[in-house]
Amino acid sequence: MMNRILLLSLLVSLFSCGEKKSKIVRNVNSGAALGTSYHLIYLTENEPLDLQKEIDSVFNVINRSLSTYIPDSDISRINQGDSTVVVDEMFRQVYELSREAYLATDGYFDPTVGLLVNAWGFGPEKRIEMDSAQVQSLMSKVGFDNITLTGENRIIKSKPNMYLDFNAIAKGYSIDRLAVLMDSKGIENYLLEVGGELVAKGVNQVKQKEWVVGIDDPQVENGRQLKLTIRLKDRALASSGNYRHFRVDEATGKKYVHTIDPITGFTKNANTLATTIIAENCALADAYATAFMAMDLDDALKLLAEFPELEAYIIYVDENGETQEFMSPGFEKIVSSN
């Protein structure tokens, strides 16, 4: 009996000595895409991995489908009045996510508002002189409920000359597609960032802790300074803000940011300086962060109460002109003390 125990111990010892400890490899791809920059970190064991070719393919497919800056993309052809375009599955998914956000925000997220954004001088097109009649004319071409995607994957507009623009959700969606790529390769730990929007999965095995990401301070007008850091795991994050484009009321000294109200068509003096949303996927986080900038703060807080799966950090100016912060309970729990 004793000989068997000694033999078993020896075998266990030899097996343990023969095991090699896994080495964590930090793989990084970065560059420019979708009119912004990206920085992708993904961890593998022992062997390095370069997914640049696959990453470029994801961006290329999204551009061909959803970019308003490419004249012959699917969405550009649709905006030019081509009703024969058969869109791909990515377009369909973005359309459906947009409709979900449009309905949930009572129209404050609206991918057809681009005509107004351009007209007021906040978009890439030339600004025009705006008055009530001009706003009313443009508003007749706004409203996502006038856009239908058929079972044959064709877009139908119930009003002519409508302009469809998914830029406020496409960046977040692109990160979700990159996350799908990582998952398909069996990668369990990664941090993906495109233009400041993020998806984090697993942990940072190199540092043996959760992924830690920073949120910019909206009151720093020159350069960049972090307001706070948070621990992010298996969630997506998106931020929106007009805090570097504001005006100060000469009489009160109060700071406002100019935002297009998709409900009225006019610009509004919004008290919200910046919004960060955490959600299950980055597309919806992106959409809600955009909508919250146009909504009154009270309405944004009511929506948060209706959707407990969302977490939010909102920086705003109160009635006395003082900068204040709101954190949902779930967001407060992940603020890093380091």
* pLDDT of the residue at 126: 74
The alpha carbon of 190 is separated from its chain's Cα centroid by a whole number of angstroms, namely 17
Residue 236 pairs in a beta bridge with: 199, 279
What value does the CA radius of gyration of the chain take, rounded to a whole number of Å?
24
For residues 95 and 113, give the distance between their C-alpha atoms in angstroms, rounded to a whole number: 15
Counted residue by residue, the chain has a size of 338
* pLDDT of the residue at 313: 97
* pLDDT of the residue at 62: 97
* pLDDT of the residue at 311: 97
Could you read off the pLDDT tens digit of each residue along the chain, which spans 338 residues?
A: 434 444 444 444 444 444 557 899 999 999 999 999 999 999 999 999 999 999 999 999 999 999 998 999 999 999 999 999 999 999 999 999 999 999 999 999 999 998 888 888 776 667 788 889 999 999 999 999 999 999 999 999 998 889 999 999 999 999 999 999 999 999 999 999 999 999 999 999 999 999 999 988 766 666 677 889 999 999 999 998 865 555 566 666 655 556 788 999 988 777 888 999 999 999 999 999 999 999 999 999 999 999 999 999 999 888 888 889 999 999 999 998 76
Q: Which of 268, 57, 94, 235 is nearest to 173 (CA)?
A: 94
Q: Which of 173, 169, 164, 123 is nearest to 145 (CA)?
A: 164
For residues 223 and 235, give the distance between their C-alpha atoms in angstroms, rounded to a whole number: 28
Give yes or no for a contact between 150 and 140, defined as CB atoms under 8 angstroms apart: no
Regarding beta strands 24-33 and 147-149, do their DSSP bridges make them parallel or antiparallel, or are they unpaired? Answer: unpaired
Tokens of 225: 């300074």
For residues 314 and 321, give the distance between their C-alpha atoms in angstroms, rounded to a whole number: 15
* pLDDT of the residue at 253: 63
* pLDDT of the residue at 211: 97
Q: What residue ranges define each of the domains in the chain, with the CATH number in brackets?
A: 73-165 (1.10.3980.10), 168-333 (3.10.520.10)
* pLDDT of the residue at 220: 67
